[in-house]
Structure 1
Amino acid sequence: MLDATFYQSMFARSPIGTLVLSASADPVILEVNEAFLRDVGLTRAQLVGQPLFGALPAAPGDPDDPHSNGVMALRNSLAQVVASGEPQSLTTQRYPIRSIRPDGSEVFVERFWSVTNTPVFAADGGLLCIQHVSIEVTGHKRAEEALLLSRREAVEAARQAEDGRARMTAVLQAAPVGIVLADTDGRVLDANAAHDALLCRHCSSDGARLDFSEWRGWWADGSARHGQALAAGDWPLAAALRGETSSHHLIEIETFDAARSHRVVVCSAAPILGRDGRVDAAVVVLLDMTERLHAESALRDADRRKDEFLAMLAHELRNPLAPIMAAAELLVQGAAAPAMVRRASSVIGRQARHLTGLVDDLLDVSRVTRGLAVIDKSPLDLGAVIAEAVEQVQPLVASRNHRLELAVQAAPLTVNGDAKRLVQVVANLLNNAAKYTPPGGRIRLAADAEPETGRARLSVSDNGIGMSHELMARAFELFAQAERDADRAQGGLGIGLAVVRRLVELHGGEIGVRSAGPGQGSSFTVTLPLAAGSTAGAAAQARQAPGPEQALGVLVVDDNADAAQMLAIMVQHFGHAVRIAHAADEALALAEQQPADVYLLDIGLPGMDGHELARRLRGDAANAGAVLVAITGYGGDEAHRAALAAGFDFHFVKPVKGGDLRLLLRDIARSRGRGVQERRAGGAARVGNFGQ
């Protein structure tokens, strides 16, 4: 029978790490062999007599690692041994071992173990201790994982090899750039749909070799060769098939469709080398840059126009600032005469109003183009809008000595719109024509109905500087007007047409422009929907309104030739016959030759004023049925009483509003059969209602 020394020697010399533990779920280490000490890198003094889980602490676990529960598994195993008295074997467990580095810091080294816990009983059958045997299998575990990974990689490689061709084809066809692969004989191995769409040709339809002599292209890289045609050997794919490396080239190509259109592409090609280092094939990639280059050019153009606009804006703002500053300095000195003070104050006020107008223009274009403008629509006569717009532009038209022709249908053109905004549209178009037409030019405004479309049509044409095709394409864009070679003596920001287009669109209308070219004038056309039921209403009003046989004879008397001319144009537009006189004597002579139905008299005439002229006309029996209308810059009760005393029927304060004058002349035409006293009574009731 073997003695205890034999068992002690076998335990100590066993190559398998073994511990003798006390018989509990939280045991103390009673003994340890050399193999275990080597496995964990500790000394006997560090282990014997120490609690197992204190001497061998566990590293923090990884909840995502199924092998990271070694401490819990070991505790459970020991508890089962104590409870059942049966051996317990554990599957491979991850149980990192604490190690102390030379610098004294602590580190846990990952280790894997195969563990068996065996109960050892005393002679009386009581549980004496637990034999804990742990075999390190870290190397085996690593090899197993490497083998598993290798198998997975092999399977993945096989799958990739199996699906490689399908994937390559899918990627090739999905690519948004044109791709072609060709062998060294120039035969196409593959080409994607983007390439065929770009060149309008399927390269591999017949399997023939590529013939670069059929390809037409020009260098477009901005270098010294820019614009030169490519020779057959210059094409990047041809160079790559010769084994030459290729950088990116910008080339303008000609497509193979019937139109033979041109596209600009970035072309890159590279050789594909075999294992022996020789060229087996080549690939070329074509990226269509046409639209991007056009967009970049448009952005540069827009940026340039913006800079020009800002420079022009600075110029326009400085113009009124210079006289304002000069006048302000004069006032600061305090030594100026009263007349000079009044003059300086007038300059400041006038130029400040000009500045305000510029700022208002900028704010207006901001509101309108961003959709913040409020349009208050109501039924209105487009003829009244035209009359007010003509009145606004009269000073500019007169100062440039233009001839303004009006051709507006007599029947009302009723539209649903915002009167203020539509006046702004028409006035802007007239201002535009006046500014860009050399002095002494012709401007024509026409308006009529288009029954077949249910729309009103208004056009403003001139014989001015005209527009190029390129400028017409962007005439209604912001900043575009800054480029027109126009006389900018009239100032302005050149943003009116952008506002006009938006306002017309807000009214449900359209605007267009035509020009035969520079120097051949321009024509802007606006169409607006007629108001519902306006056709019948227009017909009824046309029957009531004075036709050509009912037109009034009107004599305009004003010593200001421009004012008289514009007032006459307005009255003529309303459908009446007009004569002009610039002095009282001339007016009396014309009245004697042919009495007028209506006299529009300026009060401030030289020599004989308008009041005296009215008395003379009233004293002539031939003018007993005439209607006299005073036009003056003075308002108030005193001016009204003076007009009535002189024999006037109506009194207008300058500037005369076209809509008011149109209605007055219409009422006079309708009431021509009434007596003079009836008209005078009606006039007395209405005097002072105009221009207040």
Structure 2
Amino acid sequence: MLDATLYQSMFTRSPIGAIVLSASADPVILDVNEAFLRDVGQTREQLVGQVLFAVLPAPPEDPDDPYSNGVTALRNALARVLATGEPQSLTTQRYPIRSILADGREVFVERFWGVTNTPVFDADGSLRCIHHVSIEVSARKQAEEALLLSRRDALDAARRAEAERARLGAVLQAAPVGIVLADAGGKVIESNAAHDALWRRHCEPGAAPLDFSEWKGWWADGSARHGQALAASEWPLAAALRGEPSAHHLIEIETFGPSRARRIVVCSAAPIRGHDGQVDAAVVVLLDMTERLRAENALRDADRRKDEFLAMLAHELRNPLAPIMAASELLVHGAATPATVKQASSIIGRQARHLTGLVDDLLDVSRITRGLAVVDKSPLDLGTVVAEAVEQVQPLIASRGHSLALDVQAAPLTVHGDRKRLVQVVANLLNNAAKYTPPGGRIRLAAQAEAGRARLSVSDNGIGMTHELMARAFELFAQAERDADRAQGGLGIGLAVVRRLVELHGGQIAAASDGPGQGSCFTLTLPLAPGLAGAAGEHAPQSAAAGQALEVLVVDDNRDAVQMLGIMVQHFGHAVRTVHTAAEALAAAHDHPADVYLLDIGLPGMEGHELARRLRAGVAGAGAVLVAVTGYGGEEAHRTAVATGFDYHFVKPVKGGDLRLLLRDIAGTRGLGVQERRSAGGIRGRNLER
């Protein structure tokens, strides 16, 4: 049996900290070994004989910290030893140790312990004391927490990386440009939907390296190599995998799949380097430029055709102006013979009509491009439209020595349409055929019913059209490129007007040609109006009774214009007076009311709309016919004229034939009341603009 001295030596020098506590509720330190003193940084004199929790206090417990309960846990364990007489252990208990700094401040150093409290009994079985052993595990605890934190950080990092990868994947797939990633060996890591759609082929990740033996591309950068095929080593991806810096290349590619379409792309590639600077992967980006380049080419082509058109317009406007100016100078000098005067007047009239036609064409194009063109539909026979159109174009056809064959079915081809506009359409097609057919050519017009529609075609054996021109035959300015006979003049915009007018009638028009020198054929179809074959002539204007002259007052501040309009009206057999201001017009109307007032809108002092209101308000104009004669065209000007009391709306220059027919119709209804006259003579507010 070992003696007490040996036991004391073993206790004192044990490498594990230990103390002996009294067996009481508030234990006193009876003995302490050297290892414990080192652990807590105290001396024997400071501890022995002192209450445990007085000399080794812990900081106040934090209810939010699950480890901040060292004093409570140790008290409970000691209480259980006293109550049960059995050892009690505490695994990894946080119990900070108080330390006094050199400046006197008290601090608590966080420490973790593994504690065992063992009861010691006397020979008679009485509890003598408690052997308290504490092993500091602070380093192990910190390592465990660091490992746990590291694992938590690693898990968070993995989650963030996965979320970032998902975001990048979403961006990659949503990108409107083609993107493909390849590893250092050229194998595809990932490609997005835009890339697969562009090439029409799915790039399977991990497949064989891209050697581009199947991929076809040609340089499209306008350089000396333009049009040359790319070698496998020249593809931007291959260059990037070699470590070459990124660059942008314009390349024409051929897609996969049955269609093998050609696309022009901007292709750029860049190497992706690792920490050692070596190329680990590469990224390629492809931007499809096909539609943009086509649009740019189309804009340049349209701009070129516009410039050509403007040059041709200037030429066409100068052509009629030259003879007009020459003839007017001859008449002004007064040395011309009657025959010369008649010839000069004929030239001026003919060239003025030609000039008016050019302006009308431009106005039509303006209205059509702004969506302002309207048609006044009523039942009419397409045969009468053809007859009137042929009558208009016959002089041109005869002057060029063409033969015109007509094949129009005998039964009426009744359609809902605007007579004047449809005559314009057919006359334009005939005029086109006559102009683009060499002298002595053949022109054929056919019209018949077909599957509930009227089908009208105009064909010729003229210069024909290329396929490219046929595709743009109805576009503005496209006709300027046709190798036309410029001696016939014209702006080359008639077919654009024709197409829009046909569409406004619910119809369609198409052009066909077997090529240059093979002639052309234009075919239009219009919906038939069943059961209305006899309605075409129901609204024919009434003829004026012979000798029913009208009193007409012409108002215009332009003295030349009012003089010529007055001469024209007088030539039609009516009495005419002319004035130049609104005040003169009101005075003349008061002294001698007129049947018809031809009023300019842009009058000085009081414009024509106000003059019309005052005439309507007085006795002199209440039952008269008011006709606006103005340079302002379009539907807005027409609506304004109607709102201010005008019955009709003419756009300058006034055509003599239209004015003669209007005055004839008014004369034919002279004995009727105002409302009856308007019902018989036409719709009030009728727009007489072409």
Bin of the TM-score, shorter chain as denominator length: 0.5 to 0.7
Structure 2 residue corresponding to 1:494, chosen from 492, 495, 510:
492
2:514 corresponds to: 516
2:189 corresponds to: 189
- Tell me the C-alpha RMSD between the 2 structures: 2.9
Deviations 1:623-650 (A, max 9, x none): xxxxxxxxxxx999xxxxxxxxxxxxxx
CA distance in 2 between partners of 1:406 and 1:315 (Å): 34
Superposition map of 1:171-250 within 5 A:
171-204=171-204, 207-250=207-250
Superposition map of 1:301-450 within 5 A:
301-331=301-331, 334=333, 336-339=335-338, 340=340, 343-450=343-450
What SS does the corresponding residue of 1:416 show, helix, strand or coil?
strand
TM superposition shift of 1:326: 3.0
Counterpart contact for 2:330–2:336, Cα < 8 Å: no
CA distance in 2 between partners of 1:203 and 1:374 (Å): 55
With 200-209 and 455-464 compared, the bigger mean Cα shift is at 200-209
Percent identical across equivalent pairs?
A: 80
What SS does the corresponding residue of 2:499 show, helix, strand or coil?
helix
With 202-211 and 437-446 compared, the bigger mean Cα shift is at 202-211
2:294 corresponds to: 294
> Per the alignment, do residues 424 and 335 of structure 1 end up closer, same or farther by CA in structure 2, a change over 3 Å counting?
closer
Deviations 1:518-568 (A, max 9, x none): 110001111111113258999xxxxxxxxxxxxxxxxxxxxxxxxxxxxxx
TM superposition shift of 1:199: 0.6
TM superposition shift of 1:186: 0.7
Counterpart contact for 1:179–1:191, Cα < 8 Å: yes
TM superposition shift of 1:329: 4.2
2:525 corresponds to: 527
With 204-213 and 505-514 compared, the bigger mean Cα shift is at 204-213
TM superposition shift of 1:337: 3.2
CA distance in 1 between partners of 2:473 and 2:236 (Å): 42
Counterpart contact for 2:435–2:484, Cα < 8 Å: yes
TM superposition shift of 1:656: 13
What SS does the corresponding residue of 2:314 show, helix, strand or coil?
helix
Counterpart contact for 2:187–2:206, Cα < 8 Å: no
> Per the alignment, do residues 294 and 353 of structure 1 end up closer, same or farther by CA in structure 2, a change over 3 Å counting?
same
For 2:189, give the aligned amino acid: L
Counterpart contact for 1:458–1:526, Cα < 8 Å: yes
For 1:274, give the aligned amino acid: G
What SS does the corresponding residue of 2:247 show, helix, strand or coil?
coil
Counterpart contact for 2:187–2:205, Cα < 8 Å: no
Counterpart contact for 1:433–1:464, Cα < 8 Å: yes
With 423-432 and 349-358 compared, the bigger mean Cα shift is at 349-358
Structure 2 residue corresponding to 1:464, chosen from 462, 465, 468:
462
CA distance in 1 between partners of 2:163 and 2:193 (Å): 21
What SS does the corresponding residue of 1:291 show, helix, strand or coil?
helix
What SS does the corresponding residue of 1:259 show, helix, strand or coil?
coil
CA distance in 1 between partners of 2:425 and 2:297 (Å): 31
TM superposition shift of 1:514: 0.8
2:283 corresponds to: 283
TM superposition shift of 1:159: 6.8
For 1:421, give the aligned amino acid: R
What SS does the corresponding residue of 1:438 show, helix, strand or coil?
coil
> Per the alignment, do residues 392 and 350 of structure 1 end up closer, same or farther by CA in structure 2, a change over 3 Å counting?
closer
Deviations 1:420-452 (A, max 9, x none): 1111111000000000000000000000111x3
Structure 1 unaligned spans of 5+? 1-152, 539-633, 637-654, 658-692
For 2:240, give the aligned amino acid: A
What SS does the corresponding residue of 1:248 show, helix, strand or coil?
strand
Q: TM-score, normalised by structure 2?
A: 0.54
- How many aligned residue pairs are there? 392
Superposition map of 1:660-675 within 5 A:
none
What SS does the corresponding residue of 1:434 show, helix, strand or coil?
helix
What SS does the corresponding residue of 2:431 show, helix, strand or coil?
helix
TM superposition shift of 1:331: 4.8
* 1:273 is the counterpart of 2:276: no
For 1:530, give the aligned amino acid: L
Structure 2 residue corresponding to 1:481, chosen from 454, 479, 492:
479
CA distance in 2 between partners of 1:351 and 1:534 (Å): 40
Counterpart contact for 2:408–2:446, Cα < 8 Å: yes
Deviations 1:294-349 (A, max 9, x none): 111111111111111101001001112222333344455x3633445554444334
For 1:303, give the aligned amino acid: D
For 1:495, give the aligned amino acid: I
Q: TM-score, normalised by structure 1?
A: 0.54
Deviations 1:225-277 (A, max 9, x none): 00001000000000000000131100011111122221111000011111221
Superposition map of 1:588-667 within 5 A:
none
Counterpart contact for 1:369–1:502, Cα < 8 Å: no
Deviations 1:168-188 (A, max 9, x none): 100100000000111111111
TM superposition shift of 1:160: 4.6
With 315-324 and 399-408 compared, the bigger mean Cα shift is at 315-324
Deviations 1:383-436 (A, max 9, x none): 111111110000000000000000011111111111111111110000000000
TM superposition shift of 1:377: 1.0
Structure 2 unaligned spans of 5+? 1-152, 537-570, 574-655, 659-690
